[in-house]
Structures are given as C-alpha cells and as structure tokens.
Chain A
Amino acid sequence: MTSVPGTPIIQTFGLSKRYRKTTAVDEISFRVEPGQVFGFLGPNGAGKTTTIGLLLGIITPTGGRFELFGGGSASDLHAARRRIGATLETPNFYPYLSGRDNLRIVANVKRRDAAEIERVLDLVGLGRRAKHKFKAYSLGMKQRLALAATMLGDPELIILDEPANGLDPEGMREIREIIRGLGERGKTIFLSSHLLSEVERTCTHVAIIQNGRIIRQDSVADVTSHGVAGLRSADLEALAAAVGEYPAALWSDRRGDRVVAELDDGDLAALNAWLGARGIHLSHMALEARSLEDVFMEATGAAEGVSAEVGPGDAGSGSHQLGEVR
C-alpha cells in the first residue's frame, strides 16, 4: 500500500465510541493531510485518548469508520500501523528492562535493526541513561523514551498522546524542537494536548474536541487570524441582539461593556453599515487579535453554554480554567 498524493493520512467518518454510561467519542469526522502537524486539543475527558485508541486499533468503535493512508479494511489498517509510531496515554514499557532493552523489544516488533536505537536515544537525550532500568526513570525521561520509541523505524505518521505531560519547561521546549524537526522533515504528526500553548507553538492545524465532539477544526493560522470584532454602543442589549443576527458572524458574545463577534469575512465596514441600517450606532469598533487560547475558550465555552457568564477579564478566567485543566 503506497499513498496516492492527495490522500489524507487520517480520515474519520462519524467515528464513535459509546461506553455503557458515557459517549467518549461522538460521531467525529476529521481529516489529517500529509505533512500536517495536527493538534488534537481538548480538556480532560474530552475523548482524545479514546480517539487515538480507535485509530490505533486497540479500541473497537461502536459506530462510524476511519481510514489510514487511504485504506479502511482490516488488512489495510494492520499494514498502515507499520507506518505509524505512536504512544497512548502514558509511556508503556517493561519496568525491569533498561531503556535500551525496551527499545530493542520495540525494534524487534517493528522489524528494525538495532543500529537505529542509538540514534533515537541520542535524539531525545537519553543516551547516557539508556542502560538504566525503565522503572528508575523520572516521568520526563519516560516521556522521552516513549518519543524515542515512536521514532524507531522512521514512521510516516507519528501519533503522540499528550507528549508534554510531566515535562519541565526545558523538557517541553526540547520535545517541541524534536516535533518541529519531524514536521520539517515532512512527517505527519497527530498530537493530542490540553495545553494550548503547546499546540499553538508546534502545530499547523488544530481540531478542538469537547465532550466527544469536534467543535472547531482549521489551520492554526486561520483559527487565530480571524479577527474578532469588539463593539460598543449605548444600548448593548440591542447591539448584542443585532450582531447575533448578522449573517457573517460565526458567533457572538457579550463581554462586560462590549459585544464581541468573529467575522467570517473580517469586514468591519460591512458590519458597521449593516448595524447602521438597523439604527445602531457604534461608539467603539476594533479588530482584536486572538490567541489559540481565546479560540479554545470561545469554542469550548460556547459548547458548554457558559459564554454569557464570561466577564470582561475573559483572558484571566481563561487561564484560570486552564490552570485546572493542567
């Protein structure tokens, strides 16, 4: 199976996983194109790990289907897994074996020769601790070993579940560099995270997942470049109601003394004219830049139905919620 140019690396069609009491993944559809560094962003319990487990074939879907490298049959998927390096949730290794011996097991499964082991160990900076037992590793070292294992065999697709988990800022930066380097070499990377800054700094594309549903999906550039219009007028009630009906507004929200709206076209003049025609005169109008964090808060907040409660210091409340998530 070789990939035809233009075939998505990952594509899901209404993929679902229902447990007895919860729907962990709820009919999600997304596609990851070759060369993308795709961030799968969501708070705890959103369904990130479950989605990855489904893609890796260790969790059986209860609905929908998916394709890897353009193939969706059982044998296609099995063949595809040889082209993937992946970790799920925690680094899973044999505690009584050294880091190097653990990689030998992985190399053996992937039918790779042992020479590659030293290369990936050096790449993640574990060379000098490779002879120590895995159980004696710190969490950060375990994460590094997991990253090294995913790179064995030079896979085309690398799937990482919260790779920054447990790393110190320096470790995070190093991992970020490695991931960026892989991306630059044309590898497709799918990484889940609840850390917005992580995704913003490493990813080219992002899907935001919450309660098992994808609520936003785009390139990071597009997601953050869409300006949000910040508006003020004497009668905020009327303004909010009017903006809510504006066709080009993707969403709108009342925040303290202003109304904010994301415009599909970014055309402030058109919005001004449209409001003017409805007798609403603005005292303030500005395009506000957004970080992925804002997008995340808007998207997840809206999905939770709490957007109205977000006060003027929304950035502050945003980082507060993230603090919990972390």
Chain B
Amino acid sequence: MWAAFRSEMRKMWKRPATWVTLGLFGLITVADLFGEYRRARKDPDDPFFLPDAWSLILGEEVMVGFIFASVLVILLVAAEFSWRTARQNVIDGLSKTQWYWAKVLLVPLLSALFLALRAAIGGSFALAGTDLAAGAQWFGAAQLAALGGMFVTGLGFASLALFVAVAIRASGPAMAVWFAWFAFGERLVVGGLGALFEGWRPILKWAPIMTFNRLRDYIQYDSEAFRMAAERAVEQERPVPELEALGPAFAGSFLWIAALLVFGWLWYRKRDL
C-alpha cells in the first residue's frame, strides 16, 4: 500500500494536469483575496484583518477549491482506465485492493491541499492588515473547527468524484456526471421524490451534497462571526441564521463518504480491468 501510494505521489507531481489545476486555483484565489486586501486598504472603515477576515476567507468560495480538488481526483483516477495503466499496475503485481486504496488516499490529500491553499493565501493577505503587536488572536479553536468541518465537506465531494471516476472510467463523462449531480442533479432528484412522497422529505434532506454542505457554513463554528451575521440580518431585515447541531451533519457526512468509497471499491473490484 505504501509503495502504491509513493507511485501515486510520483505520478501526481509529474502530471501537468496537477500543476494546471493548482496554478489556476492559486490564481483565482489570489485574485479574489488580493481584491479584498486592496479594497480594505482603500476603505479603512471596512478593514480586512484576522480573525474577522476568516468568515470571508472560509466563506462560500471554499467550494471552488473543492471543485478543483474533485476535478483533479477524477483526472488522476479515470485517466488510468483510458491509458490502461490501471490494468498494467495489477499485471505488474499490485493487488486491486492496493490500487484502489492508494487512490482513496488522494481524497484526503487533495481536499486538505486545496483548503489549506485558500486558507494560507487568504490568511497571509489578512495577516498583513492585522495588528499583531496589539495581541490579536488571529487563529483559534473556532477556525480550527471550521477548517475541520470544511475538510470533511471536501472529503465528501472528492469521494463522490472518486466514485464516479471508477464507475465511469473516463475523465470527461465522469466530470460531467459529478458536476451535474453537484449543480442540479441532486436538487432535481430530491425535489422530484419529495413531491411524489411527502413522507420522505425528512430523509431526503440528508442527500449527499446537502449533507456535506451543512459543514461548510463558517458562522456555525465561530460564535463571534455568528453574532455579527445575526445582527446584520436584523439590520437588513433578512431571515436570521440559526445555529445547527453539527453532530448529525458530521455523522451523515462520514456515512456518505464511507458508502461512496465502499461502493466504489465493490464496483471496481467486480468488473474486469
């Protein structure tokens, strides 16, 4: 398994697609967060500093990183079927188990990488505007918890990507299916089933994307950010956010991740290479 994973790393870092994906993501992230930094420099009333800036850094846009991570998982896994290297690896002596689970290790690795990249880029820009001498608590338990929760979201999306990649075995179609499910497929299915069977609605709320996304709301982890968001909502007469119980969301996400990885494994193992 370790040898298989080492091969995996060598293949990944030599693959141009890895660098294209990382580079593109880096560029987008820098552009996005540098924009915040510059805006704050011009407008001292709306500063960009830590820890407050985390709600922006770890906001909605974290999803962009997970999309890139999932795309890269698909590219790294599905291509092995088109090139028939998935087959050759097994001929060369890797067991199917080793092959699959070495790929599974890409899921946490890439989810963490893309999340960390955004946190590091955003953190650096915001740190430049942070008065550290005043003893600002620029990173704490709340941020760690948020990063942990979002990491699980990333695991969820990347597991779904691995699953479609081994099920479909071709990068293009796998990406299309992944994206379709993420963008509208799940909503259509859940909406359709909910309309047909009203009794199912409480269960349908636990569809994979919805479950993963529950862990992606920064204010759920940071009480200060939550308070500010609630105040702003009252001022703007918008619905006030609610604190959710994250326990079930974590449990649901882990169940989905386990299910996706295990089904992927069974499907991969059953079919000829």
Q: Is B3 within 8 A of A92, CB to CB? A: no
B132 lies within 8 A of chain A by Cβ? no
Q: How large is the interface on B (under 10, 10 to 19, 20 to 34, 35 or more residues)?
A: 20 to 34
Taking the nearest CB of chain A, how far is it from the CB of B271, in angstroms? 9
Bound complex: CA of A59 vs CA of B91, how far in Å?
11
Q: Which 9 A-B pairs have the closest CB atoms?
A: A92-B88, A92-B84, A58-B273, A109-B92, A59-B272, A82-B93, A108-B7, A56-B91, A86-B91
Q: What is the interface of chain A, defined by CB distance below 8 A to chain B?
A: 53, 56-60, 78, 81-82, 86-90, 92-97, 101, 104-106, 108-111, 149
B85 lies within 8 A of chain A by Cβ? yes
A58 with B11: in contact, given A53-B272, A78-B95, A109-B4 (CB under 8 Å)?
no
B90 lies within 8 A of chain A by Cβ? yes
B15 lies within 8 A of chain A by Cβ? yes
Taking the nearest CB of chain A, how far is it from the CB of B114, in angstroms? 21
> What 14 additional pairs, Cβ within 8 angstroms, besides A59-B272, A92-B87, A111-B3?
A53-B272, A57-B90, A58-B91, A78-B95, A87-B88, A88-B87, A89-B84, A93-B83, A93-B85, A94-B11, A94-B85, A96-B16, A106-B92, A109-B93
Cβ proximity bits B154-180 to A, threshold 8 Å, 1 near / 0 not: 000000000000000000000000000
B6 lies within 8 A of chain A by Cβ? yes
Q: Which residues 1-33 of B have a CB within 8 angstroms of A?
A: 3-4, 6-7, 10-11, 14-16
B94 lies within 8 A of chain A by Cβ? yes
Q: DSSP majority for the B interface?
A: helix
Taking the nearest CB of chain B, how far is it from the CB of A306, in angstroms? 33
A58 with B16: in contact, given A105-B10, A109-B4 (CB under 8 Å)?
no
Q: DSSP majority for the A interface?
A: loop
Q: What is the interface of chain B, defined by CB distance below 8 A to chain A?
A: 3-4, 6-7, 10-11, 14-16, 83-85, 87-95, 272-273
Q: Is A88 within 8 A of B91, CB to CB? A: yes
Taking the nearest CB of chain B, how far is it from the CB of A104, in angstroms? 7
Q: Is B7 within 8 A of A109, CB to CB? A: yes
Closest B residue to A74 by beta carbon equals: B95
Q: Which residues of A contact B84 (CB under 8 A)?
A: 89-90, 92
Q: Is A92 within 8 A of B93, CB to CB? A: no
Taking the nearest CB of chain A, how far is it from the CB of B17, in angstroms? 8
Bound complex: CA of A269 vs CA of B15, how far in Å?
71
Q: Which residues of A contact B89 (CB under 8 A)?
A: 109
Bound complex: CA of A81 vs CA of B99, how far in Å?
15
Bound complex: CA of A90 vs CA of B87, how far in Å?
11
Q: Is B11 within 8 A of A110, CB to CB? A: no
Q: Is A58 within 8 A of B272, CB to CB? A: yes
Bound complex: CA of A93 vs CA of B88, how far in Å?
8
Taking the nearest CB of chain A, how far is it from the CB of B267, in angstroms? 14
**CB contact between A97 and one of B11, B87, B272 (< 8 Å): that residue:** B11
Bound complex: CA of A59 vs CA of B89, how far in Å?
14
Closest B residue to A135 by beta carbon equals: B83
Bound complex: CA of A59 vs CA of B96, how far in Å?
12
Q: Which residues of B contact A106 (CB under 8 A)?
A: 92
A88 with B95: in contact, given A58-B272, A59-B272 (CB under 8 Å)?
no
Bound complex: CA of A57 vs CA of B83, how far in Å?
18
Q: Which residues of A contact B85 (CB under 8 A)?
A: 92-94
Q: Is B83 within 8 A of A95, CB to CB? A: yes
**CB contact between A110 and one of B6, B87, B92 (< 8 Å): that residue:** B92
Taking the nearest CB of chain A, how far is it from the CB of B11, in angstroms? 6
Bound complex: CA of A82 vs CA of B90, how far in Å?
10
Taking the nearest CB of chain A, how far is it from the CB of B35, in angstroms? 34
Q: Is B83 within 8 A of A94, CB to CB? A: yes
Bound complex: CA of A58 vs CA of B90, how far in Å?
7
Q: Which residues of A contact B11 (CB under 8 A)?
A: 94, 97, 105
